[in-house]
Amino acid sequence: MHRSAPSLRALLAATTAKAVEAAQPPETSEGPPPEDPTSNMFHATEGRWGSREIAITNVAFLDTAGAETFVFHSGDAMAVRLSVHAAQPIEDFVFGIGLFNADGVCCYGSNTYLEEMNPDRLTGDAEAMFHIDSLDLVEGTYKLDVAIHKRDGYPYDYHRLLYTFRVKSRTLDVGIYRPRHRWTFSPGVQFREKDRDGS
């Protein structure tokens, strides 16, 4: 039995809320932040850590209309909105993002430092948006990392695998990434047109 879209969205929203709540660190912590657990992106561990000098206060998946959702179709546009708060002005900051499949394999990761954006100032409440023009992933459940840290990697707030979304597709291909593609054939290769019933 297939879940309807509303019930799937509700399930993913509940899963995400539960993961975020469970990962809340203590309000105060002694000592320096732990060693960066993201050094091996292919062995990801769910959780949250960082000094909280800049805190990630909300993460949302947005569709093309700007509405929050957890379900997309392969090829759809998607935006990830990060809301953050810095109690004091900070001049050294990097926004990062990572996409993982259900097996914990890193599908994609990037940050503003890698993309040569030079930080100047962040203060108070702010937002960052990560836009994906075409979500070229095969059907499946995916998880998201979001982070804000110094250029040297010192974490202000790192959320590892706390946000879940679903990609649906009419094509039953396999793997992770669904590249834009087409087939061409020599004249000796022929295919029958599909019948109306899809056979």
Q: What is the DSSP letter of 142?
A: E
Which residue, among 126, 124, 134, 129, has the nearest Cα to 146 in the 3D structure?
Answer: 129
Bridge pairing between strands 140-149 and 122-132: unpaired
Centre a 10 Å sphere on the Cβ of residue 198 and count the other Cβ atoms it contains: 5
**Helix (H), strand (E) at residue 5:** helix 5-22
Task: Enumerate the domain spans of the chain.
Answer: 5-168
CA triple 111-139-68, angle to 5 deg: 60
* CATH classification code of 5-168: 2.70.50.60
Which residue, among 176, 111, 91, 85, has the nearest Cα to 139 in the 3D structure?
Answer: 176
CA triple 49-87-124, angle to 5 deg: 110
| pLDDT tens per residue across span 156-189 | 999 999 999 999 999 888 888 888 878 777 788 7
Is-above-0.85 flag for pTM?
no
| pLDDT tens per residue across span 83-136 | 999 999 999 999 999 999 988 889 999 999 999 999 999 999 999 999 999 999
